[in-house]
Structure 1
Amino acid sequence: MKLFKSTIVLALSALIWAACSGSTAKNKTASVEAATETTAAKLAIEKPQLTFGFIKLTDMAPLAIAKELGYFEDEGLFVTIEAQSNWKNVLDRVIDGQLDGSHMLAGQPIAAGAGFGRQAELVTPFSMDLNGNGITVSNEVWSKMKPNVPKDESGKPVHPITADALAPVVKEFKTAGRPFKMGMVFPVSTHNYEIRYWLAAAGINPGYYTADNIQGQVDADVLLSVTPPPQMPATLEAGTIYGYCVGEPWNQQAVFKGIGVPVTTNYDIWKNNPEKVFVMTKKFVDQYPNTATAVTKALIRAAKWLDTPGNRPKAVGILSMPEYVGADSVVIANSMTGTFEFEKGDKRSMPDFNVFYRYNATYPFYSDGIWFLTQMRRWGQIPDSKPADWYHSTIKDIYRPDIWSKAAKLLVEEGHIPAEDLPETDGYKPATNEFIDGQTYDGKDPLGYINSFAIGNKDEGI
């Protein structure tokens, strides 16, 4: 009898639990559907099924977070995120419509609009991050550089380390008949322009692009070549290159494997510089304007979450998943949690190494885009002089703060971000001299900036 009563009690409990669970699940589903319908009604999503691309780098984080935390679904979007093999593949697949948008190098949509490489009308409504890159050299090169680096009272290298410490090493290699080779990830990548800036600031010529030399090695003291990011450590270890500029986690991977030493970061080359952007075609944005706004909303929310204190460890766990960056979580955490390791054991606090939301990181400033145009002209990717107005009009076709502003204002109305997080700007940042050489950059004077360098093409204007 006791067993019979117990069985009835268990059965009733199970029925009650199932009913409650079902009710909870139904309520949750109804709530999600209502939220989706409300958002969809506001924006009238034209294309809810989307496929986005990315390269396995930690700065793709806003995409992963927007998907994993449900921010895309909150906007009525159902997004698939696919890793891509290289930056050229990313560009081609977006232009050809195989991807609806992608994590992309800041220089890629700009080059496509300025006439360098494959040309297309691309749009950037969202800047994915600030900083996040480093320059790493082989153990052999570091052993030769280290005596040239100033030390502090404890005997540790003083940062930032300039390329002045590298100049005698390059000269030694050249005298011995060894071409000094370094890697970067793509001809129009921030990495290419950053390593060139770092070298040239020390009087080391990184070479020029010409119609006959698309490798950009004319008159070069250091020969730069393209290597996909995940292959950087292996290429360094094989001795094919002696150093490289790349995003994380591939600088920290060199430390982890004991094959190289990061010597500087792009935070030190240009404080709070723009890095990656999210890109769609102009055709997509014109055809599906509400969808483009909804995507931007989700990414802004993800960026805010990433810069909210306490969330980075969870972000590291997500990024270490094989479908995203797929690197060891210890390696990813080295930079993503506010530190950066240079020589093995020399781990330093760098709270701004990866910035996703602070300092208006998500806003597509015209002045950020114009900086890339000045570097394309400086090194010959833009072969002829252009008038100042060309720089401004070109970038305004590509960088779209109007889409960002619409998305951000909706997020303010919905209570997701505070109104004070919207910048009051004409699209140009104030002039800054926070570069490793102290040079001043004013986005409103591109010609003056180009002409201020000892090494580089000069622009007469028209």
Structure 2
Amino acid sequence: MGGANQITAGFLPLLDSAVLVVAKELNFAAAEGIDLALARETSWANIRDRLAVGHFQVAHVLAPMPIACNLGLTPLVVPTIVPMALGLGGNAVTVSNALWADMVDKGARADFDPAATGRALKAVVTDRGASTSKPMLRFAVVHPYSGHNYEFRYWLAACGIDSSRDVEIVIVPPPLMLDALASGTIDGYCVGEPWNTAAALAGKGHIATVKAAIWRSSPEKVLGVSARWAEDNLDVLSALLRALCKAAEWCGNARNRGDLARILAEKSYVGRPREWLLPALEGELPDGSGDTKAVADFFVPFAKAATFPWKSHALWFYSQMVRWGQIQHSAEHARIARETYRPDLYRAALKPLGIALPVANAKVEGALTAATPVGSSGASLVLGPDGFFDGGLFDPDKLDSYIASQKL
């Protein structure tokens, strides 16, 4: 096979690497003429840097990371685009057993409700602030430019917790989260699967709430692509997008969950027990007390335009970069964030497949309170429910006023 069709993709051993893994393992990539090699990494910083220096042409990356790169916020600034998302949802917030006991005393319930759980956490934080003997709570997220960081801080702020003063937030790679929690180094974390299920099954923590409840139908990982490589190899990229789309559809089929868990459990991929992976795929999460809870749309690989790179997603992440002081807001910075996501490339590549393609590039996040048919080409498309647990709306056409309205 010619070298031009050889693609090396970096990934982290997480559930949401599934689309890339399946494209390789079930030969969706090979059927499109792509020789796809997957390189397992240990941290998002490694993924970022190896994509920047050309070791990877594409990678499984945090949805805000390419935006941060294009805004000059990363050590190696190399233009990066996002022509495809890799699914919706998949994260959760897990706390130590000791913290959960304190939260239960303040009214928390084992139902993953972000509002009630947040009120309980707020009460615990308030007591900690008034105490001279108890240290400030410390939480971990996986990277400064991650959906985890922004959604976690959004949740805290909406519940009255100042994430810059009331708690401490540190960076820990996903594979180290459970050990950090078990050792008492941190009091909780926001991370992707299987690390929430792992803590609950091992009796080391309790799942407090889930991303699918904090921001419903929200993006998680995306395909980060070297902009220069994409420009020089547009046909190859298009073939890869078709392969990934077919893999995403396979991953989203409920009949394939057992096989998907088995594939991901292999040592070269997630490398963790199948029993850690199935709960998230089935939307039945252990809570840490021996019970399981059903979570609608916990991880969505294909339905609801889950692989579409919405510009409104990019701009919401940008708004949070501004909110938390990572960059100053300007029209040029907003333009860079908006143009990082490339629905034009997505449509051009996938139109031959006849799948549902949204006719819009952006949408009001939080506008759909129920599953709703929307305009599309190809197959029919249903989106929603979506939106933020506190009832907030994000209209990308009103970016300036949204940024101005946010409280630290």
TM > 0.5 = yes
1:411 match: 353
Aligned to 1:217: none
**Hey, what does 1:203 align to over in structure 2?**
160
8 A contact 1:46–1:290 mirrored in 2: no
Residue 437 (structure 1) aligned with residue 390 (structure 2): yes
Task: Classify 1:322/1:431 alpha carbon distance in 2 versus 1 (closer, same or farther; 3 Å).
Answer: closer
Residue 277 of structure 1 deviates from its aligned partner by 0.3
CA distance in 1 between counterparts of 2:128 and 2:263 reads 43
Equivalent residues in 2 for 1:181-330 (5 A)? 181-207=138-164, 220-330=165-275
The match for 2:85 is 127
Q: Residue 52 of structure 1: SS of its match in structure 2?
A: strand
SS of 1:47 mapped into structure 2: helix
Aligned residue number for residue 397 of structure 1: 339
Whole-angstrom CA distance in 2 between matches of 1:431 and 1:101: 27
Task: Tell me how far 1:431 sits from its aligned partner.
Answer: 4.2
Q: Deviations over 1:278-316 (max 9, x none)?
A: 111110001111111111111111111111231111111
Equivalent of residue 173 in structure 1, options 128, 136, 142: 128
Cα distance between partner residues in 1 of 2:29 and 2:257: 20
CA contact (8 A) 1:150 1:158 kept: no
Per the alignment, in what secondary structure is the counterpart of residue 324 of structure 1?
Answer: coil
Q: Which runs of 5+ in 1 are unaligned?
A: 1-35, 37-44, 208-219, 413-417, 457-462
User: 2:199 & 2:43 partners in 1: Cα distance?
Assistant: 20
Deviation for aligned residue 1:138: 0.2
The runs of at least 4 aligned residues of structure 1 exceeding 3 Å deviation read none
- The answer to whether the Cα contact below 8 Å between 1:131 and 1:271 also exists between their aligned partners in 2 is yes
How many angstroms apart in 2 are the aligned matches of 1:337 and 1:163? Answer: 26
* Rounded Cα–Cα distance in structure 1 between residues aligned with 2:18 and 2:282: 13
1:99 alignment partner in structure 2: 56
Q: What SS class does the counterpart of residue 405 from structure 2 fall into?
A: coil
Percent of aligned positions that are identical: 35
Query: 1:46 Cα deviation (Å)?
Result: 7.2
8 Å contact from structure 1 (residues 365, 399) kept in 2: yes
- In 1, the alpha carbon distance for the partners of 2:200 and 2:56 equals 34
Alignment partners' CA distance in 1, 2:205 and 2:139:
13
Cα deviation 1:129-152 (Å, max 9, x = unaligned): 10100000000000000122365x
Q: CA deviation at 1:204?
A: 0.8
1:181 positional shift: 0.7
Is 1:381 matched up with 2:381? Answer: no
| Bigger-Rg structure (1/2) | 1
The whole-number CA distance in structure 2 between the counterparts of 1:149 and 1:57 is: 32
Amino acid at match of 2:146: S
Q: Which stretch shifts more, 334-343 or 118-127?
A: 334-343
CA contact under 8 A between 2:112 and 2:207: conserved in structure 1? no
Question: Which of residues 27, 31, 42 in structure 2 aligns to 1:85?
Answer: 42
Report the counterpart of residue 336 of structure 1 in structure 2: 281
1:177 positional shift:
4.5
Q: In structure 2, what residue type is equivalent to 1:429?
A: K
Structure 2 residue runs without a partner (length 5+): 368-386
2:362 maps to: 428
How much does 1:452 deviate?
2.3
Counterpart amino acid of 2:122? A
Query: What is the rounded CA distance, in whole Å, between the counterparts of 2:306 and 2:230 in structure 1?
Result: 22
Deviation at 1:157, TM superposition (A): 4.5
2:104 is the alignment partner of 1:146:
yes
Deviations 1:204-255 (A, max 9, x none): 1111xxxxxxxxxxxx211100000011010001111000000000000001
**Secondary structure of residue in 1 paired with 2:46:** helix
Cα distance between partner residues in 2 of 1:398 and 1:60: 21
CA RMSD of superposed structures (Å): 1.7
Give the partner amino acid of 2:226. T
1:345 Cα deviation after fit: 2.3
User: Residue 405 of structure 2 aligns to which amino acid in structure 1?
Assistant: S
Give, as a single letter, the amino acid of the residue that structure 1 aligns with 2:87. Answer: D
AA aligned to 1:428 is A
Query: Is the CA contact (8 Å cut-off) linking 2:200 and 2:206 kept in structure 1?
Result: yes
Q: How does 1:56-95 map to 2 (within 5 A)?
A: 56-95=13-52
- Distance in 1 separating the partners of 2:112 and 2:11: 35
Higher mean C-alpha displacement, 258-267 vs 442-451: 442-451
Question: 2:343 corresponds to which letter in structure 1?
Answer: P
Deviations 1:19-48 (A, max 9, x none): xxxxxxxxxxxxxxxxx9xxxxxxxx8711
Native 8 Å contact 2:93 2:196 kept in 1: yes
Judge conservation of contact 2:89–2:218 (CA < 8 Å) in 1: yes
Find the partner of 1:366 among 289, 307, 311: 311
Q: Distance in 1 between matches of 2:157 and 2:265?
A: 36
2:113 pairs with 1:159 = yes
Give deviations 1:107-133, integer Å, cap 9, x for gaps.
Answer: 110001122223221011110010100
- Residues 390/227 of structure 1: CA separation in 2 closer, same or farther (3 Å cut): closer
The structure-2 alpha-carbon separation of the partners of 1:46 and 1:326, relative to structure 1 and needing over 3 Å to count, comes to closer
**Once the 2 structures are TM-superposed, how far is the Cα of residue 159 of structure 1 from its aligned partner?**
2.4
Distance 2:25 2:330 in 1: 44
TM-score (norm 1): 0.80
1:23-78 CA deviation, whole Å, 9 max, x = no partner? xxxxxxxxxxxxx9xxxxxxxx8711221110011000000110111110011111
Letter in 1 for 2:397: K
Distance between the aligned counterparts of 1:371 and 1:396, measured in 2?
10
* Secondary structure, counterpart of 2:209 in structure 1: strand
